[in-house]
Structure 1
Amino acid sequence: MKPWVPLGRAPIPGSKDDLLLWRREDEFSIRISGYVSELMNSRQHASEEALATYAVPLIADRDAAHVLVGGLGMGFTLAAALHSAGPDATVTVAELVPEVIDWNRGPLGEAAGFPLHDARTCVHVGDVSALIRASARRFDAVLLDVDNGPEGMTQSGNDWLYKPRGLAAIQAALRPGGVLAVWSVEAVPRFTTALERAGFDVDVRRARAREGKGAWHTIWVARSPQ
């Protein structure tokens, strides 16, 4: 088997760590400096796709639906959101690390089929939290795959998203009856409680990392009031 080849390194704003992009033949890996385990791998993306396929069909029949994807990663959630959305939809993807966008426009884009090339895609370079706070009744669905879920790895500032004030801001950014979907590497029961207290109707689901095998990840699909 051929060795891993480094393709890129990018500082994570607000963190002492860097993101590292590696490639081995047709396989890609994104890692965080200082951590042994991978952050993501192009052969394990079923749960990232499920984040979109569980949520976007619930609002796909709306005229000119607008979906926000928090975290570009390897592009699999974005690609699945585009696949589930209508032809007149807009899918905005917010990515904090500019180099990740460059990677997805370059060789890494092969993994998910270059979803950044889709005319319905809008790219926001910056913190998804700030975008949410600046939005009022703008989105029909918000999909969050940020820092491994409510138990973050790299940025303590991401915790705000999953706490009462963050959930209230998401409610305000959603149109009536909109959907919030959140990906997590593990189950976090207190987050279910937080969603319910924030007024969401919550469905806790699971998805495998790979189709039919691999680790189980948790996805919350939460409907806001009509």
Structure 2
Amino acid sequence: MTLWTELARASTPAGDEINLRRKGDLYEIRFNGLELMSNINFRSETMLAERSLRLHGRPVRRVLIGGLGMGFTLRATLDWIGENTEVTVCELVPEIVDWNRQHIGHLAGHPLRDRRVDLRIVDVQRLLEWNGSDYDVILMDTDNGPDFTVRETNEAIYDESGLEAVHRRLAPDGIAAFWSATVSAEFEDRLDALPWRWRRDDVSLISGRADAVHHIYFAGGGLPRSVDARPTGMHSKPGRHPEGRGLPA
């Protein structure tokens, strides 16, 4: 039996423990003992970027990504944008940036080496509060979605004030997208309260398995006017365990 090998460990100022471990070709980041993300299936992270840029349908000048993770959302973004587009990536934990550079960058083709990337070691909420230009696309790939945040303070990303901050920094014809482990009725109610169109896409990870589904919420003036709040794709019960981004057993 192949055993896990710990590659790195870090502690946050709040006392949380984060570690990176490997078993064969499988890499996993754990937060306080719970799986936060792995490279076992990253289709929904890729779709977060690809579908947002497709829905936008026009050349983009500036993209904001909340959360670096293992770099899969960033890689998909870079593969879809032009040479003159700037991508700002906010990552709160500096060690995760170091791990991407030292241990796991190859998984997503070393996206941090791309000259279009503007990496910020900062809470994405703080950046949204700063004055600055609008973003054409905002991709929020933090935590495990609105209902399963790893830090209590991250709940503000998905509450009314957080959504209003995203709305203020989004270009009038822009699109914001939020990755989620589960369908969140409360989050959908908050999206309803803002003056934008939105939709939910349910991304099937394995054909024929209704229990292997991630979810993406899209919102903003850049969505086609035919879009309403009814979800698209699969409509089964959410199937991904909120402890991580691996597939259910």
Q: What's the TM-score, normalizing by structure 2?
A: 0.83
- 2:27 maps to what in 1? 28
SS of 1:122's partner is strand
Alignment partner of 1:67 is 2:63: yes
Alignment partner of 1:101 is 2:97: yes
CA gap of 1:218–1:135, structure 2 versus 1, over 3 A, is: farther
CA gap of 1:117–1:210, structure 2 versus 1, over 3 A, is: farther
Identity value in percent: 37
Alignment partner of 1:39 is 2:36: yes
Q: What one-letter code is carried by the residue in structure 2 that aligns with 1:126?
A: V
Paired with 1:107 and 1:155, the residues of 2 have a C-alpha distance of 24
Residue in structure 1 matching 2:118, options 122, 126, 134: 122
Would you say how many aligned residue pairs link Structure 1 and Structure 2? 222
- 1:3 maps to what in 2? 3
SS of 1:108's partner is helix
User: Structure 1 runs of 4+ off > 3 angstroms?
Assistant: 208-214
- 2:204 maps to what in 1? 208
- Is residue 149–residue 155 contact of structure 2 (8 Å, CA) maintained in 1? no
Alignment partner of 1:156 is 2:152: yes
| 1:43-79 Cα shifts (integer Å, max 9, x gaps) | 211111111111023346335x111110000000010
Q: What one-letter code is carried by the residue in structure 2 that aligns with 1:173?
A: R
Alignment partner of 1:90 is 2:86: yes
Paired with 2:56 and 2:93, the residues of 1 have a C-alpha distance of 28
Alignment partner of 1:168 is 2:164: yes
Q: CA deviation at 1:161?
A: 1.4
Alignment partner of 1:197 is 2:196: no
Paired with 1:212 and 1:79, the residues of 2 have a C-alpha distance of 27
Paired with 1:60 and 1:221, the residues of 2 have a C-alpha distance of 14
- Is residue 61–residue 86 contact of structure 1 (8 Å, CA) maintained in 2? no
Paired with 2:117 and 2:128, the residues of 1 have a C-alpha distance of 17
Higher strand residue share:
1
Q: CA deviation at 1:212?
A: 7.3
Q: What one-letter code is carried by the residue in structure 2 that aligns with 1:197?
A: A
- Is residue 13–residue 97 contact of structure 1 (8 Å, CA) maintained in 2? no
- Is residue 92–residue 123 contact of structure 2 (8 Å, CA) maintained in 1? yes
* 52-61 or 109-118: bigger deviation: 52-61
Q: CA deviation at 1:211?
A: 7.5
CA gap of 1:193–1:45, structure 2 versus 1, over 3 A, is: same
- 1:180 maps to what in 2? 176
Where structure 1 has 5 or more consecutive residues not aligned to the other structure, the ranges are none
- Is residue 36–residue 143 contact of structure 2 (8 Å, CA) maintained in 1? no
Where structure 2 has 5 or more consecutive residues not aligned to the other structure, the ranges are 224-249
SS of 1:170's partner is helix
Q: What one-letter code is carried by the residue in structure 2 that aligns with 1:221?
A: F
Paired with 2:131 and 2:46, the residues of 1 have a C-alpha distance of 25
